[in-house]
Chains A and B, each alone.
Chain A
């Protein structure tokens, strides 16, 4: 039965896909391939690219200590910020799901920081909060603790950006919330009738149904963390400082491409990242079979 259907279904599918396919062919693939080509060139934007083979990649791994330090900063950031973001978002999504007064008001307020985007106000504020005479130090001083600047020291600057990222956890939370809304109420009722407490219901009903979205958030938050740019750009004003302590991978890529006019090198960096993220994505999809439950599986 399946075989007779696939032909027509395939045609229908391509009809559904047609806007996206058009977009891929017209707008996406071209620039992507061109940037892949640029990765093997020396290109300063102002004159034509010149083929240099693997030189960009060679330089990256053997002759550029700043590149390696940006890799280190980024890995640390990914390792800390992604788990933190997922856990905090999930907890707040559960708290804000239902059964609480002023629900929509709370949600809106929690979401507010995520709406602000990478505004300059944030850049100014972050310095006012985590600066040497900032809010945090003023509060600490009440307890007799003195500390230097948090944004200004190479040892702590990265953590203020982790905080900034966490501060705008709204997007991740909203996806969890929307997912929670799709958990059929009947399942909860059935479980409650069976005498399952809230914690047990979470682990046996909610969590399994949420796995497609946990998977989504895990994958996307990781990709975004690897590509993190705005936070560090805004807080360090594009320098990645102090002393390269917030020099994220993409920030360094941006500096190389647009400030130093080494777009070929920047493209090479970008594609090296694509390879790593591709491996990570592939790995995650492989493990997904073991822990992600789709409603459409039979």
Chain B
């Protein structure tokens, strides 16, 4: 804590005389300006999803005289089954992945951030090293491995790695978060008679909620959008995920259905946006108000 120069006295620091209303307006104007530029592609996709299929690709604009819901109707029932099944499958895989990542990564991160143990530095090096290898070259050995384990056509290859903390990114992220929390907390807990498990579950985890929220959110996005994993490991249509369903609208060797693609892509965004809105209320904002003592 000593490194944070909180107590340093400023010289004469009364510069907050500017009109807060003007500053507020300027901030909003800046944000909205950036947003318009940034969101145009997203808005375009949503608008295109409501245009008749012949007009989908034809215009950079947003408007059409003939808005229709056809793309949604056709898109929903495309493929060997339909999107209600794909959504359920994606939700199941994503939920299992999130819980798995939260449990395994937080346990691992606590050990690396707070505990002393033999080979700590080497293991931390191993943890980091697993992030450095491009995944393309482990794809084949991993496939061979999962095939040997007879995990084909199950959700295991997509979910088990999350429960075993294979994604070092999240472990490292949580380590960094936990290390911003002052050690005094642990000491206080220990004086109160808490063991490591209780320190972890009662003190550190509640304070690391933003980290958990971030992990949950990123895992949601990654699992939800994952295409390669389901492509390789799920061969039966009844196991298909949303991303596989979306891919089936495309065909460079035949006819693609861009209207349906955009319609279903728009729907596929909805759960992530919903999760994001929920998660940020609960997790990102929650802590700041309680603060930490």
Chain A, 116-138, CB within 8 A of any chain B CB: 116-122, 124-125, 128-129, 134-135, 138
The answer to whether A194 touches B38, judged by C-beta atoms less than 8 angstroms apart, is: no
What's the nearest-Cβ distance from chain A to residue B132, in Å?
A: 4
Main secondary structure of the interface of B (DSSP, over half): helix
Which of chain A's residues has its CB closest to B163's CB? A19
Pick the residue among B10, B110, B280 that contacts A16 (CB under 8 A): B110
**Bound CA–CA A96/B31 (angstroms):** 9
A223 and B6 within 8 A (CB): no
Q: List 12 A-B contacts (CB under 8 A).
A: A10-B117, A19-B107, A27-B164, A30-B145, A32-B130, A101-B28, A112-B269, A178-B213, A196-B10, A208-B4, A212-B179, A295-B182
For A, the interface residue count at a CB cutoff of 8 angstroms equals 109
Chain B, 141-159, CB within 8 A of any chain A CB:
141-142, 145
Please determine whether A215 and B40 come into contact, CB atoms closer than 8 angstroms.
no
**A26 touches B (CB below 8 Å):** yes
How would residues 68 to 89 of chain B score, 1 for a CB under 8 Å from any chain A CB and 0 otherwise?
A: 0000000000000000000000
Are A257 and B176 touching (Cβ within 8 A)? no
State whether the Cβ of A281 lies closer than 8 Å to any Cβ in chain B: yes
Contact indicator B45/A31 (Cβ below 8 Å): no
- B179 contacts A294, CB within 8 Å? yes
- On chain B, the residues within 8 Å of A110 by CB distance are 34-35, 38
Question: Are A114 and B221 in contact, with the CB atoms below 8 A?
Answer: yes
The A-contacting residues of B in range 40-54, CB under 8 angstroms, are: 40-42, 44-45
Besides A20-B105, A209-B4, A294-B180, 11 new A-B residue pairs in contact (Cβ under 8 A), listed by A number: A13-B116, A17-B107, A20-B171, A171-B218, A174-B217, A178-B177, A179-B180, A181-B287, A197-B14, A197-B16, A270-B133
Q: A107-B280, A178-B214 are in contact. Are A270 and B134 (CB under 8 A)?
A: yes
Q: How far is the CB of B223 from chain A (nearest CB, A)?
A: 11
Q: From residue 14 to 35 of chain A, which have CB atoms closer than 8 A to chain B?
A: 14, 16-17, 19-20, 22-24, 26-28, 30-32, 34-35
Residue A120 contacts which of B103, B200, B250 (CB distance < 8 angstroms)? B250
Interface membership of B3, Cβ < 8 A: yes
Contact residues in A for B169 (Cβ distance below 8 Å): 220
A285 to B10, CA, bound (A): 32
Verify if B136 is at the interface (C-beta below 8 Å from A): yes
Assembly CA distance A17 to B124 (angstroms): 11
**Alpha-carbon distance A190/B1, docked complex (angstroms):** 14
Interface residues of B in 90-147 (CB under 8 A from A): 103-105, 107-108, 110-111, 113-118, 120, 123, 126-134, 136-138, 140-142, 145
Given contacts A12-B115, A106-B31, A295-B182, contact A254 B210 (CB under 8 A): no
A155 interface contact, C-beta 8 A = no
7 smallest CB-CB distances across A and B, nearest first, come from: A23-B164, A13-B117, A31-B141, A178-B210, A117-B225, A20-B165, A16-B111
The number of residues on chain B lying at the interface, defined by a beta carbon within 8 Å of a beta carbon of chain A, is: 109
Q: Which of A13, A100, A122 is the one whose CB lies under 8 Å from B41?
A: A122
0/1 string, B46-67, CB within 8 A of A gives 1: 0000000000010010000000
User: Given A27-B161, A104-B280, A223-B132, A6–B27 Cβ distance below 8 Å?
Assistant: no
How many whole Å from B148's CB to the nearest CB in chain A?
10
Is there an interface contact between A278 and B115, defined as CB atoms closer than 8 Å?
Answer: no
Which residues of B are found within 8 Å of A98, using beta-carbon distances? 288
Say yes or no: B42 contacts A113, CB within 8 Å: yes
Report whether B137 and A35 are in contact in the complex, using a CB–CB cutoff of 8 Å.
Answer: yes
A51 in the interface (beta carbon within 8 A): no
A52 partner residues in chain B, CB cutoff 8 A: none
Distance (whole angstroms) from the CB of B49 to the closest CB of chain A: 9
Q: Is A298 at the interface (CB under 8 A from chain B)?
A: yes
List which B202-221 residues lie within 8 A (CB) of chain A: 207, 210-211, 213-214, 217-218, 221
B292 within 8 A of A: yes
A residues 39-97 near B (Cβ < 8 Å) are 45, 92, 95-96
Closest to B1 in A: A295
Q: Are B6 and A28 in contact (CB under 8 A)?
A: no
Is there a chain A Cβ closer than 8 Å to B236's Cβ?
A: no
Known: A23-B164, A104-B280, A190-B6. A274 touches B110 (CB 8 A): no
> B284 contacts A177, CB within 8 Å?
yes
User: For residue A212, which residues in chain B have a CB less than 8 angstroms away from its CB?
Assistant: 176-177, 179-180
Let me know if A277 and B225 touch, CB within 8 A: no
Residues in B with CB closer than 8 Å to A266 are 136-137
Q: Does A243 contact B (CB under 8 A)?
A: no
Write out the residue numbers on chain B whose beta carbons fall within 8 Å of the beta carbon of A134: 60
